[in-house]
Amino acid sequence: MAGSSEPKTGYEVSKALEIGPPKVYKVLKTLESAGFLASVTNDAGFKRYSLVDNDLREFLRKKVRIAFERDWFGPENLRERNRALEATQRLKIRVPESGTVPKRIADQKEFIRPAEKDRVLVRRKRGTRHREGDSERPKLRGSR
């Protein structure tokens, strides 16, 4: 549909993709209900589908290619893929060795929550207000 200026019937799509019409019609209805496709019904009652969004049409036209089994496993395509695989096996990539592991984090204070914040969180959980002399640091799961 991305390569066609005319809307296509489900039957035309199924023939082009070599997929049974019942499967194609199910997908076309799903894409139509999702808003990707629009449909028009002609006088004979046949529904024709087209892409709604021209940007999507251009994207699909440029980036997507459907490979049929006969194309994918065709002798010339197999030879081409095998040549490409052999070329990649000759590539050598040097991975840098790991350096020393730092003994400490550059700014540890950034990762430590102050005791006052822990006290405030516990009080909010209990629904109480700050009391004078409340200097004990509460233990919370996940806090340091």
The CATH code of the domain that includes 56 is 1.10.10.10
CA angle 52, 58, 63 (to 5 degrees): 125
Asked if residue 81 is part of any domain, the answer here is: no
pLDDT tens profile 57-109: 777 777 777 666 777 788 888 899 899 988 888 888 777 666 666 666 667 67
The H or E element spanning position 64 is none
- Computed over every residue of the chain, the mean pLDDT equals 79
Amino acid at 58: E
Strand 37-41 relative to strand 47-51, pairing: antiparallel
**Which range marks the domain in which residue 51 is found?**
8-64
Dihedral sign for Cα 74, 80, 85, 89, please: positive
Answer whether residue 25 is part of any domain: yes
Pick 9 or 113 by higher pLDDT: 9
Write the pLDDT tens digit of every residue in 9-24. Answer: 999 989 888 889 999 9
Count up the domains in the chain and report the number: 1
Q: What is the distance in angstroms between the CA of the first residue and the CA of the last residue of the chain?
A: 58
| Neighbouring C-alpha atoms within 13 Å toward the C-beta of 77 | 8
Classify residue 58: in a domain, yes or no: yes
Residue 128 falls within a domain, yes or no? no
> Model's pTM, two decimal places?
0.43
In a domain, 36, yes or no: yes
- Note whether 7 and 42 are within 8 A (CB): no
Determine, yes or no, domain membership for 19: yes
Arithmetic mean of pLDDT, 24-50? 89
Over residues 40-68, the mean pLDDT reads 81
